[in-house]
Amino acid sequence: MQKIFDIPRHLLVEEELMQPGMTSCQGCAAPISMKIALKALGERTVVVIPACCFAVFVGGYPYSSLKVPIIHCPFETSAVVASGAAAALDVRGEKDVVVMVWAGDGGTFDIGLQALSGAAERNENILFVCYDNEAYMNTGIQRSSATPMGAWTTTTPAGSIKEESKKDIEQIMLAHHISYMATASVAYPDDLYRKFKKARQITGMKFIHLLSACPPGWRIDPANTIQVMRMATQSNVFPIYEVRKWRFSKDSERFEEDWEYTINVFPERKIPVETYLKSQGRFGLITDEMIDDTQKRVDRKWHELVQKQDKRISP
């Protein structure tokens, strides 16, 4: 088997807060991501989970795969529930507990967006994580607004594959002036661990966008999960970066905000977008025009991201 990366030592020695026995599909990236996230956050963590794949295979507290408290909630309410839990913990003086939402793309991009927007606008002291498998996988692989152009789903079948581009949730969250926004992938576990560790120390709204491969929905071999996710970053389809908001004083009366962009992973060997897309059966019917359009949009976004990093001004 091809060696994809070396496992950082701290990911082996940190306490395990996720137990074996989950009923997730083989090759699912979400449990691996959660395992690393909890190593970074520690046992003083409350996890809020709306309707999604993870809600099914994690089980209910205390009979769950996680050794931390879990709050299951309706699809659209995760950000509100987390905000209430954070407020209650604050009143109790338990300020060292982090409240983390763990939602799929349906509960983030679509059904949960209204509550998420409200929490972001209020700058609630929560960590909202979207594990993005780019469709409603739990209920049968239906399209979401996170589904990429050209992808097959059960609601965009042969003859009517998705023609719309994926919603830019990262820019939507940054438009709310939140404290911290980052992308991450389990294909780069050390980076993922560091970002959760960092988010724990930041007060205010934090949003982490995780790419999360779904072998049944993406039509890939479960053994290739990490390799395909790494290709997403090597093609710049899913760049790995973070944005920190700083608020600093210009004088005694005026304050200014500045966003510090940091690209965490530069492609070691940039590959064409087509190579990434053709690695997945769900793009089997994508047209050449869609591939060209996707390549242009990916190149444009990467160019803009590099410019934002180069122009950053730290306070």
In a domain, 7, yes or no: no
Tell me the pTM. Answer: 0.93
Split into its structural domains, the chain has a count of 1
pLDDT along the chain (315 residues), means of 10: 58 79 92 96 97 90 88 97 98 97 98 98 98 97 98 91 96 96 98 97 98 98 98 98 78 66 94 98 96 98 94 51
Which pLDDT score is estimated for 255?
57
CATH number of the CATH domain containing 218? 3.40.50.970
Phi-psi region of 7 (alpha: psi -120 to 50; beta: other; left: phi over 0): beta
Structure tokens at 145: 């607004």
Domain span including residue 149: 23-310
Which residues have CB under 8 Å from 222's CB, separation 6+? Answer: 25, 26, 27, 215
In a domain, 66, yes or no: yes
In a domain, 74, yes or no: yes
**Cα–Cα distance measured from residue 160 to residue 220, given in angstroms and rounded to the nearest whole number:** 21
Q: How far is CA 68 from CA 18, 164, 208, 281, in A?
A: 9, 39, 20, 37
Asked whether 280 and 222 are in contact (CB, 8 A), the reply is: no
Which pLDDT score is estimated for 178?
96
Phi-psi region of 302 (alpha: psi -120 to 50; beta: other; left: phi over 0): alpha
Which pLDDT score is estimated for 271?
97
Which pLDDT score is estimated for 39?
96
In a domain, 138, yes or no: yes
Asked whether 169 and 145 are in contact (CB, 8 A), the reply is: no
In a domain, 3, yes or no: no
Phi-psi region of 154 (alpha: psi -120 to 50; beta: other; left: phi over 0): alpha
Three-state secondary structure call for residue 48: strand
In a domain, 243, yes or no: yes
Three-state secondary structure call for residue 243: strand
**Cα–Cα distance measured from residue 292 to residue 285, given in angstroms and rounded to the nearest whole number:** 14
Asked whether 124 and 79 are in contact (CB, 8 A), the reply is: yes
In a domain, 107, yes or no: yes
In a domain, 280, yes or no: yes
